[in-house]
Structure 1
Amino acid sequence: MKLIKISPIIALSTLLFGCQSNDFNPESKISTITDAETKLQKAIEDKSCDASYQCRVISYGERACGGPSRFDIYSIKTSKQEDIEFLATEITSFEQAYNQKNKAFSSCEHNPAPQTLCLNKKCEVIKRE
């Protein structure tokens, strides 16, 4: 039996290149709503998918009348769901605090969540008629 020697550096680099890169660090400081929104947009910018089950909708923010202020779509193929949910919760907390402090008011109309599908290997919103 012939043994093949593999350099530890080659073995380690092979393992590292196989890992999904995600620049988001939940421990990093989020001191403003702008910080949270910027991190969220960066975390969901790649909407690549192989199948529709990978496409998700996240609701976040807080309208003064209740309910989320906005929705975004993302792919669990390229984003960690836990990170997206964490950032959405942070944004919602900032908006809740703002609304309470400023006695804000808003429209009370119902905004339904969008639906999404994987079309041409990208998560897309389905247009409602």
Structure 2
Amino acid sequence: MKTKILLICFSFLLLSMQCDDENHSGITPEMLDNKKQEILDYINSFSCAEASGCNSIAFGAKPCGGPREFLVYPNSVDQVTLQNLVDEYYDMDNEYNIQTGAVSDCMVVTAPSNIDCVNGVCTIID
């Protein structure tokens, strides 16, 4: 009888020490969405002019390598700040891919070849 009680108590102890996914401190889709929105808000706080022009930056991390997409931005942004924000997002996205065992189509995403300033906003021209 003592053995059974001891075994039950030990089982409860082991169960209470297991990791719970809800308490996991990993990257969540909401965290990625918030970081992306922070970056887009930063980019959108600047406007372009024909003289200053626009550029693109690789963004995100596909599970099998390469960027998920390219963001366009006016050259008037502080490019060091933008690069730091994009690098932070890349690290988060890469960690999320590892944590979830994500897979992707592995297709190469290329930088846009034709970007123009349209009404003060950098736009990809098809």
Q: TM over 0.5, yes or no? A: yes
Q: Return closer, same or farther for 1:52/1:117 CA change in 2, 3 Å cut-off.
A: farther
Query: Structure 2 CA distance, aligned partners of 1:71 and 1:52?
Result: 22
- TM-score normalised over the length of structure 2: 0.65
Quick one: which amino acid aligns to residue 59 of structure 1? Answer: A
Q: Return closer, same or farther for 1:119/1:52 CA change in 2, 3 Å cut-off.
A: farther
- Structure 1 segment 1-129 matched on structure 2, within 5 A: 32-46=31-45, 48-51=47-50, 54-77=53-76, 79-115=77-113, 116-127=115-126
Q: How many equivalent residue pairs?
A: 95
Give per-residue Cα distances to partners, 1:64-118, cap 9 Å, x unaligned: 11100121111022x2111111111111100111111222110011221113123
Query: Structure 1 CA distance, aligned partners of 2:112 and 2:51?
Result: 14
Query: Structure 1 CA distance, aligned partners of 2:116 and 2:70?
Result: 15
Q: Which runs of 5+ in 2 are unaligned?
A: 1-30
Deviation at 1:63, TM superposition (A): 0.5
Q: CA RMSD in A?
A: 1.9
**8 Å contact 1:46–1:74 — kept in the other structure?**
no
Max Rg structure: 2
Deviation at 1:34, TM superposition (A): 3.4
Q: Decide which moves more: 39-48 or 103-112.
A: 39-48
Identity of aligned residues (%): 27
Comparing both structures, which one devotes a greater share of its residues to helix?
2
Quick one: which amino acid aligns to residue 65 of structure 1? Answer: C
Q: Return closer, same or farther for 1:105/1:89 CA change in 2, 3 Å cut-off.
A: same
Q: Which runs of 5+ in 1 are unaligned?
A: 1-31
Moved over 3 A (4+): 119-122
